[in-house]
Chain A
Amino acid sequence: MSPPMITAPLTELSQALAAKRLSSVELIEGLLARIDRGNGRLNAFLTIDRERALGAARLADVQRSRGTAGPLTGIPIAHKDVIMTEGLKTTCGSRMLEKFIAPYSAFVVEQLAAAGMVLVGKTNMDEFAMGSSNENSFFGPVRNPWNADFVAGGSSGGSAAAIAARFVPAATGTDTGGSIRQPAALSGVCGIKPTYGVCSRYGLVAFASSLDTPGVFGQTAADCAMLLTAMAGHDARDSTSLDRPREDYARDIDAAVTSKPLAGLRIGLPREYAGEGTDVAVARAIETALAEFRRLGAVTVDVSLPNVHLSVPVYYVIAPAEASSNLSRFDGVRYGHRAASYSDLDDMYCKTRAEGFGAEVKRRILVGTYVLSHGYYDAYYLKAQQVRRLIADDFRRAYDSCDLIIGPTSPTAAFRLGEKSDDPVKMYLNDIFTIAGNLTGAPAMSIPCGFDERGLPIGLQIQGDHFAEAKILNAAHRYQQVTDWHRRIPTEFAP
């Protein structure tokens, strides 16, 4: 049997490594060469940890030969640069942390390392995870692997592009308002945001603590299931980490195939999702995908989410409010950038933060500072939390009559670099379908379901109630067994 492609999905690489048809060193050397050739074009990676990656790969091969390797041993992964990796730069895409070396690792990094995964580098992102296009990175935008004139999506754009270009088979991301699902959609890969609390936030540089959720990117739903299983778990260092029994998120995927694997599954179609500026090509791709889900045995039912249109305004109170508080830690005293000249302590803070933060981060801090300032709390933050409850109640009611909710991840495919960068509100409305998942804390994933007339990928979002990850992943997997959108590779990055 010939050695498998190093660009294959993670589950196939895992089998090839287990069968010793491929070594971890071969895999990682091959992928590092792909990164060397292609990263200049995409700007997906900010840091490559070549030496340690190769060292870890050699160790993985030794473990393999001794029979102590697990299914993820020796498989490379990239972490979004908002996730702390001990001894390695963690910039958050910001000038503020341009030279910051993380003094400890995040829980999710520890989990995946404990499963044997090899860290190859850190991926580019919108500064402090604030953005939907990756144009807010201090280190320059990530470009879309399908067409370099277009954005890769954000904020986890580097991770999404790295999967799409087949630089790595796995990458982490964080999702506060769609930052895993939207770049997954725009870059044509899979990405899942699990239920809030399933993956510890310990070691994530905090943006909006009641919404921030670590998750993963992969080529397939089966890959994401395997990664999520390794990465989830209780962690006492995050007070919101849920203490519940460990789950195998691939349990349904591994079940026997029948001709109607989704028989009995009720898919909810929110009538409010019609319109909302959805592009014709996107709507058509979703319709075609729904027909596929019906052929697999699922039934579709109409549901209503009357308050979901308030998600974006609510989010732009809650997220900036929490961000303004979280980002107050960047004061030029304990870590990060400090202005070169200043008159006194107060001036040092003001200049440090003016120089260290980019325009979008400053805007959100200002919005957050305003809504939390004296006399405005009830009218904004408290009000937003009340409307957040109304939105969550809408979903709760919808799940009385359906198991999953399906629709577009984003109203359009990728847009051109610069197209929306001077209009924050236009950019924010791009997250119209993803934000509710963060407000409710429920899991959601994006999978590729087609291309528009320009050849740019379209993403389908599958949402479920709290802890429905396995159900979501299984539905995505069954769809991927009968379609091949997830197997397409951008021409420029074909192996």
Chain B
Amino acid sequence: MALSLDEVRRIAHLARIEITPAEAADVRAKLESIFELIGRMRAVDTTGIVPMSHAQDLVLPLREDRVTETDRHASYQQVAPAVEDGLYLVPKVIE
């Protein structure tokens, strides 16, 4: 399958991964070879086949609607890059 460099850049932006112009050609070539492999599956006739989304035919369990988690935000925020007053800091998004 042929992919244009524009498509590679579009996917990369959707995935929020910066790709430098120098990397783009190699990324494209490798993605093309992967899509060629994937292409082997596309010719199969799957009319009427129920998609298998999971290894077990499970009905997702429901649990009682009550609080089960304890407040552990302090320990979870210890591994965050930037926090202040219990809040995660990010660059300004609202002017």
Q: Which residues of A line the B interface, CB within 8 A?
A: 100-101, 103-104, 196-197, 210-211, 236, 239-240, 242-243, 307, 309-310, 312-314, 316-317, 324, 328, 331-338, 342, 344-351, 353-354, 357, 362-363, 365-367, 369-371, 373, 379-380, 382-390, 392, 423-425, 428, 438-441, 466
How many Cβ-Cβ contacts under 8 Å join chain A to chain B? Answer: 167
B residues near A243, Cβ cutoff 8 Å: 61
**CB <8 Å contact, B54 and A333:** no
Q: Write the nearest CB–CB distance from B60 to chain A, whole angstroms.
A: 5
**CB <8 Å contact, B81 and A240:** no
A residues near B56, Cβ cutoff 8 Å: 196-197, 240, 242, 441, 466
CA–CA, A384 and B38, complex, Å: 9
Q: Which residues of B line the A interface, CB within 8 A?
A: 8, 11-19, 27, 30-31, 33-42, 44, 46, 49-56, 58, 60-61, 63, 72, 75-76, 78-82, 88, 90-93
A residues near B54, Cβ cutoff 8 Å: 210, 240, 441
Give the residue name and chain of the B residue nearest to A197 (CB).
Answer: B56
CB-defined A-B contacts under 8 Å, sample of 15: A101-B78, A104-B72, A240-B58, A328-B16, A344-B91, A350-B13, A357-B17, A366-B11, A366-B31, A367-B35, A386-B51, A386-B52, A423-B33, A428-B34, A439-B55
**CB <8 Å contact, A317 and B38:** yes
Q: Write the nearest CB–CB distance from B94 to chain A, whole angstroms.
A: 10
**CB <8 Å contact, B88 and A333:** yes
Q: Write the nearest CB–CB distance from A324 to chain B, whole angstroms.
A: 6
Q: Known: A317-B41, A363-B31. Contact between A335 and B79, CB under 8 A?
A: yes
A residues near B17, Cβ cutoff 8 Å: 350, 353-354, 357, 362, 365-366
Give the residue name and chain of the B residue nearest to A367 (CB).
Answer: B34
**CB <8 Å contact, A386 and B49:** yes
A residues near B12, Cβ cutoff 8 Å: 366
CA–CA, A469 and B94, complex, Å: 55
A residues near B41, Cβ cutoff 8 Å: 310, 313-314, 317, 383-384, 387
Q: Write the nearest CB–CB distance from B89 to chain A, whole angstroms.
A: 8
Among A314, A324, A335, A392, which residue has its beta carbon within 8 angstroms of that of B80?
A335
CA–CA, A159 and B82, complex, Å: 33
Among B14, B40, B53, B91, which residue has its beta carbon within 8 angstroms of that of A313?
B40
B residues near A439, Cβ cutoff 8 Å: 52, 55
**CB <8 Å contact, A103 and B75:** yes
Among B14, B42, B81, which residue has its beta carbon within 8 angstroms of that of A383?
B42
Give the residue name and chain of the B residue nearest to A385 (CB).
Answer: B51
CA–CA, A243 and B58, complex, Å: 11
Other A-B pairs beyond A354-B19, A387-B44, 5, CB < 8 Å? A313-B37, A350-B16, A351-B18, A371-B38, A390-B44
Give the residue name and chain of the A residue nearest to B75 (CB).
Answer: A103
**CB <8 Å contact, B30 and A239:** no
A residues near B18, Cβ cutoff 8 Å: 347, 350-351, 353-354
CA–CA, A314 and B92, complex, Å: 41
Give the residue name and chain of the B residue nearest to A422 (CB).
Answer: B30
B residues near A342, Cβ cutoff 8 Å: 91
Give the residue name and chain of the B residue nearest to A324 (CB).
Answer: B15
